[in-house]
Structure formats: C-alpha cells, structure tokens
C-alpha cells in the first residue's frame, strides 16, 4: 500500500477505503466560496460491484493499492467457476461467478480480459470498454414504427440482452459499451 493524497486521484486508481478495495471511477475537485475545498468521488467496490459517492477533504491522505494489470484469456465455464488462463505464464485460474459481477453477461470463450492482481491474489476483472458481439436473436422491426427513437430487445452471442434499434437483425455484429451495457453502433462487416 502506498500513501497518497486526493491530489493524486486518477480514474481507475485502486484505493483501500473502510478496509475494502475500491476503484475510482469519477472524481471532481470542488472549492465552494468560503468553505474548505473537497473532492467528490464515485467509487466502485471491487468485491461486489456496489457504487457509492464519497467526499474527501482536499489533501486528505488515502491508501493507494498498487495493483498489477495482467492479460488473461477466458477459457470455459466449469460448474459455478469461470476458468481463465494467464497469457504469459499459461497458468489457469478458476474464478467464482460472484467475483465477475456484470462481466459475465458479455464474456464469451477466448475473450481477452485484464485482471487486477495484488501480489498473487486476483482482485478484479476488467473487460475492454467496447466489445463486438453477434446478435443471436431479435424480434423483427415493424415498418413505420419510427415515430420516436424506438428500440427492441436483442439476445447476443454471450447471452446478454440489450436494447438495439429496429434496423438491427439476427446475425449482425454490434458494438456494446461494457461499462453501461448499452448498444453503441452496428459494426460494418
């Protein structure tokens, strides 16, 4: 653990707060008129995915956790565990479903992911911000039903269900933002 202050905040930073590991997803330095400056943050719990908003005094000491970013590949599902392989050492590691959180919805075999490792312990998984997935099934769009920005549910090859525009059909590749779980665009093939 390294000691840092709020001046060292950056997106993606891992800190220890209330004896739990959190990743900093957003922060804003606020200095109201006659009051003391503070930093408003949005923190995501690495264990359960819970997101909280927290204020820190400007210059307050925090415990930064130095984590190593390693490339791993998702291999297969073994019961309740998801098995990953380190692409450098070829070590295989099963991870429980609970540890992966929402990432499960977008994982498919052979996907490359980034693991956050503290010493020998895997503490979190990070998907790429955008993934290209194939639409497995979607209801056909009704012609003339375009008064508003109309969407329909579509099931992707990973099993996730996302809302897509009416012009997206089964077999199309779409780009999904894994942070929000929303459709971004149709990928030209």
Percent of the chain's residues with pLDDT above 70? 95
40 bridge partner residues: 28, 55
Domain with CATH 2.40.50.140 in the chain: 68-126, 130-187
Cβ atoms of 57 and 36 within 8 Å: the answer is: yes
Which CATH architecture is the domain 130-187 placed in?
Beta Barrel (2.40)
CATH of domain 2-64: 2.30.30.30
Rounded Cα distance between 32 and 142, Å, is 52
pLDDT of the residue at 55: 92
Read off the pLDDT band of 167 (50, 70, 90). Answer: confident
Residue 181 pLDDT: 85
Average pLDDT of the segment spanning 68-97: 91
Its pTM stands at 0.71
- CATH 2.30.30.30 location in the chain: 2-64
C-alpha distances in Å from residue 185, one per residue of 1, 142, 182: 41, 20, 10
**Average pLDDT of the chain to the nearest whole number:** 86
CATH number of the structural domain 68-126: 2.40.50.140
Residues 183, 165 contacting (CB under 8 angstroms): yes
**Cα 124 from Cα 117, distance rounded (Å):** 7
**Phi/psi-derived region of residue 104, left when phi > 0, alpha when psi is between -120 and 50, beta in every other case:** alpha
- C-alpha 98/C-alpha 100 separation (Å) is 6
Weakest mean pLDDT among 51-60, 66-75, 88-97, 144-153: 144-153
71: confidence class by pLDDT, cuts 50, 70, 90: very high
Task: State the Cα–Cα distance between residues 13 and 76, nearest whole angstrom.
Answer: 29
Of 20-24, 92-96, 122-126, 156-160, the one with minimum mean pLDDT is 122-126
Note the pLDDT of residue 138: 85
The neighbour count for residue 35, using CB atoms within 10 Å, is: 8
Nearest by Cα to 1 from 17, 122, 10:
17
Per the DSSP assignment, residues forming a β-bridge with 56 are 39
């Amino acid at each position: 653990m390294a000691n840092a202050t709020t001046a060292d905040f950056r997106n993606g930073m891992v800190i220890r707060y209330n004896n739990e590991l959190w990743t900093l997803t957003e922060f804003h330095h606020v200095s109201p008129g006659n009051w003391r400056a503070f930093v408003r943050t949005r923190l995501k719990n690495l264990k359960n995915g819970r997101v909280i908003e927290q204020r820190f005094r400007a210059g307050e000491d925090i415990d930064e956790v130095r984590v190593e970013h390693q490339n791993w590949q998702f291999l297969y599902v073994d019961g309740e565990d998801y098995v990953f392989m380190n692409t450098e050492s070829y070590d295989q590691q099963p991870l429980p479903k609970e540890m992966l959180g929402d990432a499960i919805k977008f994982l498919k075999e052979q996907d490359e992911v980034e693991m956050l490792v503290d010493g020998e312990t895997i503490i979190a998984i990070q998907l790429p911000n955008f993934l290209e997935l194939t639409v497995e099934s979607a209801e056909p769009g009704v012609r003339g039903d375009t008064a508003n920005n109309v969407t329909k549910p579509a099931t992707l090859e990973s099993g996730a269900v996302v809302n897509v525009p009416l012009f997206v059909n089964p077999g199309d590749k779409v780009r999904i933002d894994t942070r929000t779980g929303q459709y971004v665009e149709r990928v030209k093939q």
